[in-house]
Structure formats: C-alpha cells, structure tokens
Amino acid sequence: EIVMTQSPATLSESPGERATLSCRASERIRYSLAWYQQKPGQPPRLLIFNTNARPAGVPARFSASGSGTEFTLTISSLQSEDFAVYFCHQYTKWPGTFGQGTRVEIK
C-alpha cells in the first residue's frame, strides 16, 4: 500500500499569509494526486486533481505542484474561509490512499 505522509500536521498562519502544505508518497505516483479541503461539519471539497488542476469554482489562490513522490499545495494569501483541514489523496490504483491531513488554523 502506498503511504501518504502530510506535513506539517498543523499550520498556524495569519490571514493574508502564504501557506505551503506538503504531501509525500512512499513510492512514485506520477501525477495521480488530488487535494481536498474539509471544514467542520461539511463534506470534503475537491480542490485539486491531477497534481495541479483546479476544478471550476476553486479560487486561483490555491495552486499545487509536484511529481513522483513530493507534492505541494500552496494558498497564496489565506482568507478566513481557508482555515480548514486539507487531505491529499493518491489514486494510482483504486481506492488509493489518503494522507492524515494538515490542519490550517488561525495564528
């Protein structure tokens, strides 16, 4: 099983700051990576697929990059609605595996 490791577990930042979240795969996953955002009491929201593609409606302040085993999600300027938990998900083979999540909290 491919293990996904996210860091940091918690990221404390102020509104307007840049946030960088990392996700590492235990083996190469090419570009088969998605990011989901989840707020308390809400379902997950697809933010990024295929490593760096944004679904319609996702703001441009969310960007992502990576390949192989190292991946990054960047939020260029944190807005109040961005404080949430972020999960990465590799899908080289169904059902794939998720990281344990990074909580982005207000500093």
Give contact residues for another protein (rule: CB under 8 A): 32, 34, 36, 38, 41-46, 49, 55, 87, 89, 91, 94-96, 98-101
Residue 18 or residue 39: which is nearer to another protein going by CB?
39
Residue 82 CA to residue 95 CA, distance in Å, equals: 27
Residue 14 or residue 94: which is nearer to another protein going by CB?
94
Shortest approach of another protein to residue 28 CB, angstroms?
17
For 48, counting Cβ atoms within 10 Å of its Cβ (0-12 exposed, 13-18 middle, 19+ buried), the class is buried
Shortest approach of another protein to residue 24 CB, angstroms?
16
Using alpha carbons only, how large is the chain's radius of gyration in Å?
Answer: 13
What is the DSSP annotation of 12-28? EE-TTS-EEEEEEESS-
Residue 22 or residue 38: which is nearer to another protein going by CB?
38
